[in-house]
Chain A
Amino acid sequence: MKRNMLLAASAAALMVAGTTAAHAADTVAVIVKATTSEYWQWVFKGAEDAGKQLGVKIDKLGTPKDDAAGQISVLESVAGSRPAAVVIAPTIFEALGDPIAAVSDAGIPVVVIDSGAKTDKYAAFLTTNNEAGGKAAADAVAACLKERTGKAAGKVGYLTAMAGHESLDSRDRGFVEGLKAYPDIKLVGNRVANNEEAEGMTLTADMLTKDPDLVGLFADNAQMGTGAGAAVAEQKLGSKLCLVAFDSDAGELEHLKDGSIYALVIQDPYMMGFAGVWYGYAAAHGVRLPKNVDTGVGTVTKATMDDPKLAGLLDVSKRKLGPFLGN
């Protein structure tokens, strides 16, 4: 009796295992850096839209906050279930290199999105050129100064959301390098926050206290942009300080509209998720893919924010899929 039950149980277990294995072949796993952040929600949305078109199931995975060790565990357990493809945004360049290579070696195509990993064993790499984004921010600050004062000159600072993140570091580096094209702009300060809007707000106010003649500021992600925008709005300095911020969320858009933010440098997280899944699916079916793809950055100001072409980039919930994915 007991043995029969055991047999029945193991048969049931096998059946379950069998169905999940069959099911996994139609699954694309998307592993992001931080499931609690808005940016990655848009990556997931793009991935799900692609999944619907392709008729594959999308597993939305990742760690709640940036955590490389946690992400490696997620990647390893996902590989165990043998999905058709894995799309991953590596949290730390060095740490994720070998685990990604191991998954590729096991015959599962890996598409890397957003940030790189230390390996060349992947099907394709879709990313924003963050350094170019930082440079675009420097150009936007300079353009703003020129527009308002006639020359690109004065004291400028920048706010870093978190220390030691490859994509943020690249943006900052691009910004600092980009400023070198404007000899009259003087870089006076950099503060690092805890990726927290309120802290970005406090630091912006304090930077303005330290240098009351600050004329430009770059905020390197959406949290910093929202915080800096709130500080500028509170002190009504929108017409005096050229604030340029990265990404786009509800807070930044509000401050772009009320003039506290001069320009947003936007990237395309939706497309990373959307194209990531398409690429993974194609690779799983033997399509040869371009190894590196730049998903692009653009600059938006108050004057251009109502352009219908930009609507889906500024607010991804308004994204429409057309025959040509222009935006």
Chain B
Amino acid sequence: MTDQPLPRVRPGPRFHGGAAGGSVRALLRRLPIETYVVAFTVALWVVLSLTTPNFLTEGNVSNLMRQTPIAAIVAIGVMCTIVIAGIDLSVGSVVAFCGVAFAQMCGHGLGLAPAALLTLVAGAGVGVVNAAAISRLGIPPFIVTLAGLQVYRGLALLLAGGITVGGLPPEVKEFARGTTGLPNLFRAMAAVGIAVHYLLRFTRTGRYMYAMGSNAEAARRQGINIFRITLTAYVLSSGLAALAGILLVSRLSIASPSMANAYELQAIAAAVVGGASLFGGRGTVLGTVVGAVLFTTMSNAAVLLGVDPFWEMVLEGLLIALVVYLDNLQKRRQHGA
């Protein structure tokens, strides 16, 4: 085997300029899948604005801006692990574990800032453990984080004694309820999104993450420090889950050890609908956020339109399958025939 060239770095699908194709059909083929997802989301908004009197009201828009961020922040973290061809199934349990830890620190009189900082450090610590198990011990990411899903849920229950933790200082609730022009939660999501977008698109670490996700062996031969890249992705994922835990506690004004159940699956769904590939090498912050917005809009729409909640689940599932199918179809067209 000879050294392979560094795989073509592709920070996710994007426009390649319209000049080459010429015809509209060629352009449509080149459009990344996010374009369709954005279009679908916008179409849904237009339809909802026209058919229901209450969708496009200040209250509902502000609700949507508060309902999306926590799921989106978790999804952005998971997307980072998907980009390097990994996965993080532990995030839901990490949200609960860190949320309970944060609530108990606040409840025991530790100030908000130190409690939040310690919680984020704990979250990052989970990421270090995951990355070490994957990179150093060679256990597949799926297994490592599946184990984490059990371990951190169990720790959350132990820490809380199996019951809801309440009695938090009022400042904790004020953050999630507060608005300074835009809801604070939305601002938090925007800050996280911009930071991770910058990391992925404009730094060497980001380029290495896509390179590793496209072909780990080639990336290693090029001298990329695989452990460092793995560490970055998993620390981001667990760290953002810890942040989401703090925000969720702020939103609910309690911490429950059973909260954030199956958030990992919602996060994966948002990332995939937003154009990330579970085979690695693809995924963007923007796409992931749009994916999260789409799912929030769908559940909002289901209530406003009075859709049966069971049908809502079926429709969401079908949507995921449809988007991935369209994405694959498009890729096949681009590559061959």
Contacts and interface: CB of A to CB of B under 8 A. Distances in A.
A36 B258 contact: yes
A90 to B, nearest CB: 21
Contact of B67 (A202, A233, A249): A202
Interface stretch (B9-17, B26-34, B224-232, B302-310): B302-310
A283 interface: no
A223 B163 CA distance: 11
A226 B256 contact: yes
Interface in A218-256: 222-223, 226-227, 230, 233-235, 249-251, 253-254
A198 B251 contact: yes
B127 interface: no
A226 B261 contact: no
Interface stretch (B52-60, B110-118, B326-334): B52-60
Interface string A174-213: 0000000000000001011011111001110111011010
B162 A207 contact: no
Interface in B116-169: 153, 157, 161-167
A226 B258 CA distance: 13
Contact of A210 (B164, B166, B304): B304
Given A196-B259, A209-B63, A210-B54, A251 B254 contact: yes
Contacts of B161: 41
B41 interface: no
A37 interface: yes
Contacts of B63: 202, 205-206, 209
Interface size class of A (residues with CB under 8 A): 35 or more
Contact of A198 (B54, B163, B248): B248
B257 interface: yes
A235 B176 CA distance: 12
Contacts of A226: 164, 252, 254, 256
A223 B261 CA distance: 12
B252 A201 contact: yes
B103 to A, nearest CB: 10
B163 A250 contact: yes
A209 B309 contact: no
A76 interface: no
A163 interface: yes
A250 B162 contact: no
A203 B303 contact: yes
A206 B309 CA distance: 13
B253 interface: yes
Nearest to A236: B177
A249 B252 contact: no
B252 A209 contact: no
A195 B70 CA distance: 18
B252 A41 contact: no
Contacts of B163: 38, 41, 249-250
B262 interface: yes
B299 interface: yes
A197 B303 contact: no
A202 B67 CA distance: 7
A101 B262 CA distance: 36
Nearest to A199: B299
Interface string B228-255: 0000000000000000000010011110
Given A201-B252, A202-B296, 8 more contacts: A37-B258, A163-B309, A189-B303, A202-B299, A209-B63, A223-B256, A230-B252, A234-B66
15 contacts: A35-B162, A38-B163, A41-B162, A163-B309, A194-B261, A202-B296, A205-B63, A206-B63, A207-B303, A209-B63, A212-B54, A222-B164, A223-B258, A251-B166, A254-B253
